[in-house]
Copies of this chain bind each other. A is one copy, B any other.
Amino acid sequence: MNINEYMEQVGRQARSASRAMAKADTATRNRALLLIADAVERDSALLSAANQRDLDAAASAGLAPAMVERLALSPKAIATMVEGLRQMVALPDPIGEISNMKFRPSGIQVGQMRVPLGVIGIIYEARPNVTVDAAGLCIKSGNATILRGGSEAIHCNRALAAIVAEGLQQAGLPAHGVQIVDTVDRAAVGALITMPQYVDVIVPRGGKGLIERLMKEATVPMIKHLDGICHVYIDARADLEKALPIAFNAKCHRYGTCNTMETLLVARAIAPTVLPRLAKLYETKQVELRADPEAHALLAGYPYLAEAVEEDWRTEYLAPILAVKVVAGIEEAMDHIDRYSSKHTEAIVTEDYSAALRFLREVDSASVMVNASTRFADGFEYGLGAEIGISNDKLHARGPVGLEGLTSLKYVVFGHGEIRS
């Protein structure tokens, strides 16, 4: 069987399993999650052994240390996976909920029912825990799943897939409800993203390079975000007791996350006060500041200071580097954001009521905040209970995507024999 025939078979099996997954009741889907959690716990030694084979292969292939780190499945990571599955059981079932049933003048009653999307394809690199997290979210939301993990994690993913399939079957669900693409052939990804007849949506989890490659070829819609060039704007009427901790937290809490601030905008009226005080905080973390001429002058003497160039406004550093710009006020701040933001998350710090409302309304990003750190843009912090990914697109799901993003609303009509006249 060549790779296209194999993927065709995986797709057909997923589509076929999706009907049973969709109609399974809440208790059955929750039972599957609990059975999988128990089996992961029971087989943790086996999983560690499989992971060790991947780690050994990675070492002899000379993989980058960062990649090896992501590949490792520690006993703590296994325990977290198990806990994650058990927490999903406690989440409300999104499926079957009927909302807004209203009588119409014709006599029919019309509303919407939340239903699974059908088949979800997940494409990810290294981290084997995604296999179980993503499978769990798709089971909870009544979808069938095709998981394409990184080839470097193949042994661990195979072991996890066997556990998941066993749990599904013990719960009375089809074993093909969750499948892994069991090949290291890279052509499998190309096939997966061009099978709209079998796959309803692709959720890619990985770096910008992966997403850009997929975007060029995919004919299946994706829930994705390319990058996070997030801004904090400190308004002239900001409370510095809030502005300084927020600007420090948004940059320094974690450097490698997509909701980390990459550009700081400061209103001219307050910049001479704010920037030197912020510099003292950033200096403790040796954060490099790439400043426009006006900010550069106000930061004179800062040990990690550089001149910002055009490219800095477009860069997601994912590192202790921050672009800094002085702006006239909210208008110029919003113009800058409109031009350079990746539409992920932006925050204003202000005590000005009208400025806060304008920023909330007019900034066109997935998350817009007043007086809070951009680091809050996260499914768990927002109360979604879980996160399958983040979307920077405007259609379907936008921002952190939880279980609802894996569902769709269909219209349901309760009639009493009505005909249209």
Complex Cα–Cα for A413 and B113 (A): 28
Give A73 to B412 CA distance when docked, in angstroms: 36
Instruction: Determine if A416 is an interface residue (Cβ-Cβ < 8 Å).
Output: yes
Q: Which residues of A192-247 are within 8 A (CB) of B?
A: 200-201, 221, 239, 241-242, 245-246
> Could you tell me if A398 and B410 are in contact, using CB atoms closer than 8 angstroms?
yes
* A358: min CB distance to chain B, Å: 8
Cβ-based interface call for A371 (8 A): yes
Quick check: is A319 within 8 A (CB to CB) of the other chain? no
Interface of chain A: mostly helix, strand, loop or mixed: mixed
Q: Which residue of B lies closest to A18 (CB)?
A: B364
**Is the pair B394, A200 in contact by a Cβ cutoff of 8 Å?**
yes
Chain A 4-28 per-residue mask, 1 if CB under 8 angstroms from chain B, else 0: 0000000000000001001100000
Q: A413 near B246 (CB under 8 angstroms)?
A: no
Determine, out of A133-141, A181-189, A374-382, the stretch whose residues face the partner at the interface: A374-382
A342 at the interface (CB under 8 A from B): no
The answer to whether residues A373 and B420 also contact, given A110-B383, A368-B411 and a CB cut-off of 8 A, is yes
Residues of chain B within 8 A (CB-CB) of A250 are 419
What 0/1 readout, one digit per residue, does chain A (361-390) give for beta carbons within 8 Å of chain B? 110111111111101110001110000000
Mask of A337-375 contacts with B, CB within 8 angstroms, 1/0: 010000000010000000000001110111111111101
Q: A418–B361 contact, CB under 8 A?
A: no
Is A408 close to B, CB under 8 A?
yes
Contact string against B for A residues 303-316, beta-carbon threshold 8 Å, 1 for contact and 0 otherwise: 00000000000000
Binary flags per residue of A73-95, CB closer than 8 Å to B gives 1, else 0: 00000000000000000000000
Number of A residues with CB within 8 Å of any CB on chain B: 65
Residue of B nearest to A366 (CB): B410
Residue from B241, B372, B415 within 8 A of A108 (CB atoms) = B372
- Whether, in the assembled complex, A284 has its beta carbon less than 8 Å from a beta carbon of chain B, the answer is no
- Shortest Cβ gap from A205 to chain B (Å): 18
- What is the CA–CA distance of A416 and B369 in the complex, to the nearest angstrom? 10
Whether A118 pairs with B410 at a CB distance below 8 angstroms is no
Q: Report chain B residues within 8 Å CB of A280.
A: none
Having A113-B368, A347-B413, A372-B413, one finds 15 other A-B pairs with CB under 8 Å, namely: A19-B362, A19-B364, A96-B361, A108-B369, A108-B372, A118-B394, A221-B395, A246-B415, A246-B419, A366-B410, A369-B413, A370-B413, A372-B414, A373-B415, A377-B411
Q: Which 9 A-B pairs have the closest CB atoms?
A: A372-B415, A242-B417, A249-B419, A369-B413, A375-B420, A371-B415, A394-B408, A395-B396, A367-B411
